Structure formats: structure tokens, C-alpha cells
Amino acid sequence: MRWMTDKVRMLQGFIAVPQVLALVVVVDVAAYFAGLLYWYGPVMANPATPMWAWPFIPDCPLFGLLGGLGLLMVTAQRYWREEGQARGQRWLWIAAGLALVVWLSTYLPGAPAGWSAQAAMWAVWSWALLIGAIWFRRAPAWLLGIFAFGQIKYGIWTITAWLLYWRSTAALLGAPHFSFDSVLMTITHVGLMAQGIFLLTYFRPTVRGALAAFGWFALSDFVDYGLGFYPSVPEQFISVAFMQWSTIAVTFLLTGVYLLLARRPGATRTARPGPEGASQFA
């Protein structure tokens, strides 16, 4: 166990290298915009999609972005000096403010239709940055727990969907159809799931955090499958009903894992102690 702890700390130290951390965050940001424009673009740009549904629709891109922000937050809290944390939070506030301006610009009279159609993408982007700015210097365990939960859950969802796709195409066509989309998205979502598991090494889930995560993702599952905002899939090869019940099962399973981790005897948080010896993620 000691060996595993040492290896995790070595990996955390490697991720804390500024160039490495910047690369991870840039990849997460790029994946957000790529996912919103390519995969979720039509439903997000549809005027019939209500604003309240926007945070529930871009599952993987959004939680990739939030997970990247979470990793930035825990790394800053553990490895950066106070002035560095204050500077990082200030830059996030600036970025969030600019993002809000960009979002609001999509509503200006005379704005091109193509630009106005991106209102949802910029809105969710600005909201994510605001979350990061607000909690940058003291991220609570329940918030980090939601970030990690989403990365693991939607990583599993996408991997499962493409495995079903390959199985179905093999049965119907005689061989699995390894399309560019299916291979690339499977690889990237293995990374998404791994990043969520890695984020869990920085803090110990709490019972409150487990319940908060369950509440959010149970609601998200309802919005997806109860109200019809589930991600687009090639339905001739992938059963929507199977994806519905499997993702609901993952919500319950991950909640159970969180509760076990929260109650595990002798478990400790790995956060750097605060100024009075309290965990930064308490």
C-alpha cells in the first residue's frame, strides 16, 4: 500500500510541473469546444432547447473541462504559494468575465445567426469558469467529487457505447466497424475516466459529497432519458434502452463506491493542510 501511495504522489508531482499541467488543461479545454461544436452542436444550437437544460446536455465535454479545472485547483492548493494561488484565481475571474461578455454578445441585435447559435456553448463555458474562480483556492470535497464522478461516469458511458457499436457492426456486417470516431472517442474517454480516478487521489469523498453527486447525476439521467436530451448515438447499432439503464446503474454504483470511500476506516485526505491544520478540502 505504501508503494502505491508513493507512486500516486510521484504522479501528482509530475502533473504539478507547469508545462504538464498546462498541457492537460489545454487538452480538456480543446475537448470541450470540439465536443460542443461537433457532437452536441445541433441540440445545443436548437432554439427549442431550454436554457435550464444546457448544463445537462454536453456530458463528456463539460466534465472533461470541469475535471481539468478541478485538477488545476487541487494542484494549486497543494503546490503553489499563496501569491500564486491568488494570481491564478484572479486570472480565472478575468477569464470568466470575458467569457460572460462573449456569451452575452451572442444576443446582440444584428449578431450573425451562426454566432447567436453558439450561445449555449459560451454560456456553459462561462458558468464553468465562474465555478472554478469561486472555489479556486478552497475547493470543497463535494464539488471535486461531482467533477470526478462525471468524468468516470461519462467515460464509462462512451466506452460502453462504442463497444456495443463494434459488437453490433460485427454481427451485422461480419466484422467490427472501427470508424475514426469510434476509435478516437474510445481512446480519449479512457483518458477521461482515468483523469476522474486520478482526481480522486487528491481528496476523500464525503457522505455529503456522495449524496450531492447522486442528486446531480440522477437528475441528469432523468433529463437525458426522461426528457429526451440523451447524447446522439447511431441507434441502428446501439440500443438507447441499454445505454439508459446502464448509465443509471453506473450512477448508483459510483454513489455506492463514494459512500464506501467516505466511511472507510483509517482513510485520510491527501490535501495539503490549511493554515490551521485543517484539510483544504474539508
Average pLDDT, the chain: 92
Give Cβ neighbours of residue 111 (< 8 Å, ≥ 6 apart). 105
Q: How far is CA 90 from CA 11, 181, 198, 271, 277, in A?
A: 27, 38, 26, 22, 25
Inform me whether the pLDDT recorded for 240 exceeds 70. yes
pLDDT band at residue 62 using 50, 70 and 90 as cut-offs = very high
Q: So where are the chain's domains?
A: 2-263
Task: Please give the pLDDT value at position 282.
Answer: 39
Output phi, psi for 99, to 5 deg: -65, -40
Task: Please give the pLDDT value at position 280.
Answer: 43
Inform me whether the pLDDT recorded for 153 exceeds 50. yes
Inform me whether the pLDDT recorded for 265 exceeds 80. no
Cβ pair 145, 214 in contact under 8 A: no
In a 3-state reduction of DSSP, which class is residue 279?
strand
d(CA 142, CA 69): 15
